[in-house]
Amino acid sequence: MAVINLRNITKQFGDYRAVNNVSLDIADGEFVALLGPSGCGKTTLLRLLAGFEEPDEGTISLAGQVVADGVSRQMVAPEDRNLGIVFQSYALWPHMSVARNVGYPLEVRKMLRAERDRRIREALSIVSLENYADRSPSELSGGQRQRVALARCLVMEPRAVLLDEPLANLDVHLRETMQEAFLDFHRRTGATMIYVTHDQAEAMAMADRIAVMDRGHIRQMAAPETLYREPSDQMVAGFVGAGAVLPVGDITLQNNGRCAVRLGDADISARICARVASQTGANDALGLCLRPEDIRVDGHGTLAGKVEDCVYLGGRFRLAVRLANGHALPVYSDLRARIGENISLSVRDGWVFSRQEAA
Ligand SMILES: Nc1ncnc2c1ncn2[C@@H]1O[C@H](COP(=O)(O)OP(=O)(O)OP(=O)(O)O)[C@@H](O)[C@H]1O
């Protein structure tokens, strides 16, 4: 499976830059999610990779072969890129059995029957549908249909599998089951996978790395835990995970990549992004990202707030707390709290970063 390289890719529709100077390297066998709000350019980036769109600038290489070049206008056709594609709509033939749907791309290529049947059996087994070969797609659930679509791209032994919001049509329960199915597929095939979604939980659950996109740019590309703990800017901090980004006043640098931040009456010790550590002091360009698991409801805490909402999550409560400075903070608590109750919080960690966009 392939190494994929995008260099300075730009795609313009009229005077709107749907993809703006994007560079991206995807390793062999990696599972990468393209995550971002509606209209940020995820699907356009996937379509550029697939060959359905031509870049205005930049180059795309698959396993070292240039397949699109914005300067020379060199383009390898989608069918010659050997990429498997799974869409939101399953695009199965309703009049063909599951097995024939899966084997159809091989039939088109005139592959011999015996080899075709072997590959169909193997692909159906990978997606755990070996007992459904003779059914018609109308006799399957949405999740099973999506697994047929996965098996169909697998028989082609593609360089990589591109998935465009493949779970968007499924209900919440089935989405979780299918996340397991995709992870299992990834483990068993070692395929390079590029997965478009606007659902951060889905991206976090599956991807080795996530590229967070916003208005045509990649804001940050990192492992899910790095995006969550160390977002590079305000957009990423707000889009990935629960929590709050608060403006901070005076910041004093400490040792070991940490700093002291004044927030209301509380002094908080937080981690600080190396890139902005030189900008400490009174600085309203810096923000403090607080995640709920780093905050405790604590009679001795120094950060004061008032409970505005309390929701039972099973095992714990999620409180919406309004701080004296007017900002809202999500907090987890073992105990139920009354709406309007004054509570004190202690903060054991936070992350200070630049609120300005890096790009
Ligand atoms: N063929 C096209 N012609 C004109 N504008 C387009 C075309 N395709 C996409 N766009 C515009 O480019 C921008 C990015 O679209 P894209 O489909 O890549 O976004 P997305 O992040 O996948 O969004 P969604 O999650 O809603 O599918 C949007 O503003 C969209 O309207």
pLDDT over 80 (residue 173): no
CATH 2.40.50.140 boundaries in the chain? 242-354
pLDDT over 80 (residue 358): no
Q: How confident is the model at residue 297 (pLDDT cuts 50, 70, 90)?
A: very high
Q: Whose CA is nearest to atom 6 of ligand 1?
A: 13
Q: Which of 10, 13, 15, 54 to mutate to test the pocket of ligand 1 (most atoms within 8 A of CB)?
A: 13
Q: What is the DSSP letter of 99?
A: H
Which class for 164: exposed (0-12), middle (13-18), buried (19 or more C-beta within 10 A)? Answer: buried
CATH 3.40.50.300 boundaries in the chain? 4-234
pLDDT over 80 (residue 95): yes
pLDDT over 80 (residue 278): no
CATH architecture of the domain with residue range 4-234 = 3-Layer(aba) Sandwich (3.40)
Which of helix, strand or coil describes residue 122? Answer: helix
Q: What is the DSSP letter of 38?
A: T
Measured CA to CA, the distance from residue 308 to residue 189 in angstroms comes to 48
Nearest residue to 226 (alpha-carbon basis) of 281, 289, 277? 289
Measured CA to CA, the distance from residue 299 to residue 307 in angstroms comes to 14
The pLDDT assigned to 88 comes to: 77
Measured CA to CA, the distance from residue 232 to residue 235 in angstroms comes to 8
Mean pLDDT of 71-95: 87
Nearest residue to 201 (alpha-carbon basis) of 150, 160, 164, 167? 167
Mean pLDDT of the chain: 89
Q: How far is CA 234 from CA 227, 269, 286, in A?
A: 12, 20, 9
Of residues 331 and 359, which shows the higher confidence score? 331
Q: How confident is the model at residue 342 (pLDDT cuts 50, 70, 90)?
A: very high
Q: Whose CA is nearest to atom 26 of ligand 1?
A: 38
Q: Whose CA is nearest to atom 11 of ligand 1?
A: 18
Q: How confident is the model at residue 307 (pLDDT cuts 50, 70, 90)?
A: very high
Q: How far is CA 182 from CA 13, 99, 135, 150, 179, in A?
A: 32, 20, 22, 9, 5
**Which CATH fold topology does 242-354 show?**
OB fold (Dihydrolipoamide Acetyltransferase, E2P) (2.40.50)
H-helix segments, 191-230: 200-206, 224-229
Q: Give me the residue label for tokens 């990649």.
A: 218
Mean pLDDT of 140-151: 87
